[in-house]
Structure formats: structure tokens, C-alpha cells
Amino acid sequence: MQRYYTRACNFYYGNLSKILVSKKKAIPLHQIKEISFDHIEIITRKSKKKISINQIKYLPNDLKKKVNLDLKKIKTKKKNFSNLDFKKVPNILGVLNLTPDSFSDGGKFNTKQRGISHAFKLYNDGADLIDVGGESTRPGSKTVNKEDEWKRINEILKSIVKKIPISLDTRKSDIMKNGIKLGVKLINDVSGLSFDTETINVLKKNKVPFVIQHTLGTPENMQKKPKYNNELLDIYDFFEEKIKLLRSKGIKHNNIILDPGIGFGKKLKHNMNLIRSVSIFHSLGFPILVGNSRKRFIRDISKKNDSFTRIGGTISSTLYLMTQGVQILRIHDVNEVMQAIKVFKEITNK
């Protein structure tokens, strides 16, 4: 039986979106009038067809039922959790790597004072959550044992977790348990909850919100000729199957975030297709997180215009993702990105 997927597209942002929504010419995303769309793309493994929202009523009955079920998820208001406000787009997840070897800032903040200072800077600059990690998962990196990972983050976490909302970036259940005891508000597991078999039990027991990220392979081997039949639909199916697994294991809450994992087992063409069509994941019914900050795709595109912090590429992709309704962006340079967002919003709200 042929499988159909629904992608909201042809988005409007700001004041124009509000006007079109008021005239019922566009559908607000998750009841946010500032972001709306007036077309959908119906996708199969063999075809794509873009139609206006007014043409949905003319679809065959079975397909129309499927599309309307997807649209219900796309339109439904998201409930806030983990200090994230889903009435606004985007929320910012500030990056605090307490590692000696992360790809862009390894060794820069891995002392107690520098780590604490940077956490407060990211928060004061506008981050909604600070994503703290003690293990690099850059391409080619090797696993760090849990004792060393916890030693890297323990003191800094204890110093900031009661003062700043914290997300914990880890693949290990014991690190998760320690962080949850301290009061972290979100677990961000880049392995898609597959690295540690105990992870799901920890998340179930503590009912803590978490991120499911898609990664093809492990950080050590993920960039060695990654292959997909269709990266967009393969990753959509991955999320759908993972949610079914979690439900079967007894996790019933909806405080779950989906991250397609830009750069994690993806080449440039995969990353670009995912970013261009990221709005397909809205039809799964959960908030979307994208880590676009300083990623290699910026270097691959900009070539001689590459730079260390890749601010230009980060900002341009941030603004695009924002206008596609992506609710959370994982960002290193929070101040500069917030500046860009504020200016863009001011321009589009007049």
C-alpha cells in the first residue's frame, strides 16, 4: 500500500501572515498567527504534488482523511515545557560544551569559572535553555567513559542548574540520572535513545522531557559514506517508529522534541534536503529542534568564504528555519542570532 506524507509549505511570516489568517486564506501553524501556510505538498516514495489548501476537499476520500489527520497535528497548539514557549518561534537552545575536543569550541569553556560565566552569558543574551555537554559527538569522535563525562560537567552543573534552565546533552543513562536529580529540565540524546539500553527506563521513571535526534551510525563512523533511500522520508519513518516504541514502553506524555540531526550521518545534499523540507516533521505532532549553528554544511556551501564561527551561514539558515516554524534552534552565538531574529521580526511585522 502506498504511503503518503503531508508537508506544510508556502509559508508566510509576520504581519502578512496575520492578515492572511484573518482572511482565512492561510492556516496558522500551531495556532501561531505570525506563521502560516497556504499550500501542502503530498509526498510518496515516488512522487510529490503541491496543492493549495483549498484543493484538499477534492482529494480522494482516503487521501483526504490522511491529509486532514496530518493537518490536525500541524494546526494543534503546542503546550509549553522545559522553559520553552511554543507561542513564539524560535526558542533558542544555547550551546555550552564542557569538552576539550568539540568541533568548534573544544577546550574554550571547560574550566569551572569559564563554563559558569559562559552559561550566564548565553542565558542573558536570550537563550531559553542552556544545553550542557561533557562528551564531544563531532564526526570521528570516540566515546568518553561515564566517569570522565560526569567529572567534566558535575561542578558546573551544580553551580548553575538552580539559577538557569538546563538541558543535558548526553547519551548515557547514568549521566541522565545524575542530571535529573540536580534538576535539569530536558534530556538531549544525540543517539536517538539507542546508545544506552537503560535510557528509556530512566526517562519513563522520571517523566522528564527529552529530545529524540536522528543519527545514522555513531559519531566515530557516521560520516563514512552515509546512505539513504530518501533521507527526508527515512528520518520521518524513524521518528514515527521511535514514538511507537516509546508508547509501547509506557512513555505516554507528549513532552518530546524531534531533531533530524543535521550533520549526524549526513552529507551536504542530505542536510540541504532536510533543511529545505523540514516542515514535513510538523505532521508528526511534536516540536522540532534543529542544530544548524556552525555546522559543516556552511563550509561546504561557502567554500572560500568560510569562517571560524560561521555566523553568516548560521544566521541565514536560522532565519529560514524560523520561517518554516521550527520551534527550537541549537545555537553557539546566541547574541548575534538574537540580534538577527529581532531585526527580521521588526521588518516583517510592519
DSSP state of 79: P
Asked if residues 12 and 20 have their Cβ atoms less than 8 Å apart, the reply is yes
Same domain for 244 and 268, yes or no, is yes
Domain boundary among 17, 43, 75: 75
Q: How far is CA 337 from CA 167, 200, 259, 306, in A?
A: 19, 33, 19, 18
Mean pLDDT over 243-259 rounds to 97
Predicted local confidence at residue 219, as pLDDT: 76
Q: How confident is the model at residue 136 (pLDDT cuts 50, 70, 90)?
A: confident
Mean pLDDT over 18-46 rounds to 97
State in Å, rounded, how far the first CA of the chain is from the last one: 48
> Taking all residues of the chain, what is their mean pLDDT, rounded to a whole number?
94
Backbone angles phi, psi at 38, to 5 degrees: -130, 10
Q: Is 143 exposed, middle or buried (0-12, 13-18, 19+ CB in 10 A)?
A: middle
Mean pLDDT over 293-305 rounds to 97
Give tens-digit pLDDT for 305-321: 999 999 999 999 999 99
**How far is 101 from 105, CA to CA, in rounded Å?**
8
Same domain for 192 and 230, yes or no, is yes
Catalytic residues: 295, 330
Same domain for 33 and 102, yes or no, is no
Same domain for 32 and 116, yes or no, is no
Same domain for 216 and 325, yes or no, is yes
Per the structure, the count of domains in the chain is 2
Q: Is residue 243 part of a domain?
A: yes
**How far is 165 from 96, CA to CA, in rounded Å?**
12
Same domain for 57 and 197, yes or no, is no
Same domain for 260 and 154, yes or no, is yes
Same domain for 100 and 197, yes or no, is yes
For residue 188, the enclosing domain spans 91-348
Q: How confident is the model at residue 106 (pLDDT cuts 50, 70, 90)?
A: very low
Domain boundary among 23, 48, 75: 75
Same domain for 96 and 228, yes or no, is yes
Concatenating the DSSP letter of every residue in 278-293 gives GGGGGGGTS-BEE--T
Predicted local confidence at residue 102, as pLDDT: 47
Predicted local confidence at residue 211, as pLDDT: 98
CATH of the domain at 140: 3.20.20.20
Out of 33-42, 116-125, 220-229, 308-317, pick the least confident.
220-229
Domain boundary among 19, 46, 75: 75
Q: Is residue 305 part of a domain?
A: yes
